[in-house]
């Protein structure tokens, strides 16, 4: 078993003999220091030199810095590498039940909790193996009937273990590399899957470059096949309510996967997945509307002046035109749209300097906006990798290769598939932390209100009400029928990290149909 250092900082620290350590995270890089002296805009914010404008923000979650996990079989070096990999046969499954020689803070034993890690091979690929962690619900009430939630982190190409350890998983990782219970982990209310996807992300790997996906059709088909394999392996959960959740670029992944599940159910493909709803947190879903919101949001939050706003606003029409061309032509038009529209964000960052674009209350400290290095330290440990069955596989926290492969997907509109699901009663929750810049609440609010469905007029006319957690006003909520929008106070891009109690209450009340109930 892998042994992890214990922490003396809290009685609830889980001193780990854990077969549990997972994929994670590269933190996002801020703009590099300019070679010239810093200058200030009219609001007094320090801005960088001309070189900053050339820096593309390539990720909507974490800046990808690694390649992808592709094991090329006809290469001598890769053949040698294969001999060190716990390789899974094409039709196989590798899964381990994770065991813990630990006791929780309240004295409860965790040895019997259903925690799993493993791979499923994807049947419609040449050699893709998708890695996941699965945590059965901690709830003592009807845990076998608790909903199943799949969590998808964005990027594109970032491992979902960022969320697992820093947001809504059962544990947080301590400064001393021990594990500590997360009292607000989403396993309190659900059986939750964290999946490394698309293939090539995290510990997921393939033996063929042809398995690297370039659009949501391929991504959603792979995830659908993964879920089919998962429910074959865990049939006791196949009839449970099922929800898809995630953040950031998952604003693309989630509607595509929900539509794929919906279509599979309608066509009686394989195991019926009991899809009840999906939730997108600070996502990128409708780029044409959301990129237009950058100047508006920055002005409203006093990041820029009116003059700065007017300058940035001139970049919006070319962006919108190129997105329309992307939608009608595809191919190179979508790549052009990506670079045209990123110019808005890059110019905005050139104005606001080293601000943390995931949380405008903060500055990017050093070379990283957040420090997620603890998980990468753990995942470089060979004993940890062997314990979770990933011997010979390098962890890819955020894959530059996957990001590059998906550039043509960035500017496509994934709001278009949502109305059909709403009309059939599939619940949709769009939530956003109020201080995120990169996928800000205003852009999300705008596309949700612009979406055409039978309840659009009633949703537009619905009142915005306080979202209460206990006696605390935690946000602003608006809803009609199956559609809800929640603006979360005192949170940035990663709501479950900034407001864990609020995020858990949001999830529970939404799944139970009491979100916004008086």
Tell me the angle at which helices 306-313 and 287-300 cross, rounded to the nearest 10 degrees.
Answer: 170
Q: Apex CA 118: angle with CA 261 and CA 107, to 5°? A: 105
Q: State the catalytic residue, choosing from 248, 354, 397, 399.
A: 248
> 501 and 466 in contact (C-beta within 8 Å)?
no
Q: Which two tokens stand for residue 369?
A: 């906006």
What are the start-end ranges of the E strands in 386-436? Answer: 427-433
Nearest to 474 by CA among 501, 435, 493, 448: 501
What are the start-end ranges of the E strands in 196-327? Answer: 242-248, 275-283
User: Which residues, in sequence order, are CB contacts of 267 under 8 Å at separation 6+?
Assistant: none
Distance CA 441, CA 421 (A): 22
Q: State the catalytic residue, choosing from 204, 436, 498, 509.
A: 436
What are the start-end ranges of the E strands in 122-176? Answer: 129-135, 148-152, 171-173
Q: Which two tokens stand for residue 327?
A: 């939608």
For the question of residue 66 being annotated catalytic, the response is: no
Tell me the pairing of strands 115-121 and 93-97: antiparallel
Q: Which two tokens stand for residue 457?
A: 């007029």
Q: How many CB atoms lie within 10 A of CB 241?
A: 15
For the question of residue 413 being annotated catalytic, the response is: no
Longest distance between any two alpha carbons in the chain, whole Å: 65
Q: Which two tokens stand for residue 56?
A: 């593309």
Nearest to 260 by CA among 299, 215, 302, 301: 215
For the question of residue 436 being annotated catalytic, the response is: yes
Tell me the pairing of strands 465-469 and 472-480: antiparallel
Q: How many CB atoms lie within 10 A of CB 385?
A: 21
Q: State the catalytic residue, choosing from 28, 493, 498, 509.
A: 493
Would you please indicate which residues are annotated as catalytic (active-site) residues?
248, 436, 493
């Amino acid at each position: 078993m892998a042994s992890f250092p214990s922490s003396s900082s809290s009685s609830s620290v889980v001193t780990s003999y854990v077969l549990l350590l997972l994929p994670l995270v590269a933190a996002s890089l801020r703009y590099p220091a300019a070679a010239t002296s810093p200058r200030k805009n009219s609001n007094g914010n320090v801005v960088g030199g001309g070189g900053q404008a050339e820096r593309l923000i390539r990720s909507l979650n974490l800046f990808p810095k690694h390649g992808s996990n592709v094991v090329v079989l006809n290469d001598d070096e890769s053949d040698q590498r294969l001999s060190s990999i716990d390789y899974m046969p094409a039709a196989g499954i590798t899964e381990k039940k994770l065991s813990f020689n630990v006791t929780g803070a309240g004295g409860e034993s965790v040895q019997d909790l259903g925690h799993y890690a493993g791979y499923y091979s994807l049947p419609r690929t040449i050699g893709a193996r998708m890695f996941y962690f699965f945590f059965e619900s901690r709830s003592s009430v009807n845990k076998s009937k608790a909903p199943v939630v799949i969590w998808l982190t964005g990027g594109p190409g970032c491992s979902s273990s960022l969320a697992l350890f820093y947001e809504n998983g059962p544990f947080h990782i301590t400064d001393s590399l021990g594990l500590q219970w997360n009292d607000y982990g989403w396993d309190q209310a659900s059986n939750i899957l964290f999946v490394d996807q698309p293939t090539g992300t995290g510990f997921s790997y393939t033996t063929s470059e042809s398995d690297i996906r370039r659009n949501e059709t391929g991504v959603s088909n792979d995830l659908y096949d993964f879920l089919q394999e998962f429910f074959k392996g865990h049939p006791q959960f196949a009839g449970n309510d099922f929800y898809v959740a995630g953040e950031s670029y998952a604003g693309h992944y989630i509607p595509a996967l929900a539509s794929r599940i919906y279509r599979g159910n309608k066509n009686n493909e394989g195991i019926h997945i009991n899809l009840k709803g999906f939730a997108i947190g600070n996502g990128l879903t409708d780029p044409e509307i959301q990129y237009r919101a950058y100047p508006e949001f920055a002005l409203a939050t006093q990041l820029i002046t009116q003059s700065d706003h007017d300058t940035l606003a001139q970049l919006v029409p070319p962006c919108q035109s190129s997105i329309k061309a992307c939608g009608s032509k595809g191919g190179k038009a979508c790549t052009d749209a990506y670079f045209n529209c990123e110019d808005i964000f890059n110019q905005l960052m050139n104005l606001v300097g080293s601000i943390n674009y995931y949380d405008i209350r903060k500055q990017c400290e050093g070379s990283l906006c957040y420090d997620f290095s603890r998980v990468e330290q753990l995942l470089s440990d060979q004993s940890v990798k062997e314990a979770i069955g990933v011997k010979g596989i390098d962890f890819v926290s955020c894959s530059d290769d996957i990001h590059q492969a998906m550039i043509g997907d960035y500017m496509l509109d994934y709001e278009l598939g949502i109305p059909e699901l709403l009309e059939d009663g599939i619940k949709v929750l769009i939530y956003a932390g109020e201080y995120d810049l990169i996928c800000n609440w205003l852009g999300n609010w705008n596309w949700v209100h612009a979406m055409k469905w039978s309840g659009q007029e009633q949703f537009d006319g619905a009142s915005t009400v306080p979202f209460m957690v206990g006696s605390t006003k935690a946000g602003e909520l608006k809803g009609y029928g199956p559609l809800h929008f929640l603006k979360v106070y005192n949170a940035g891009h990663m709501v479950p990290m900034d407001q864990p109690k609020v995020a858990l209450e949001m999830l529970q009340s939404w799944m139970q149909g009491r979100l916004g109930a008086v």
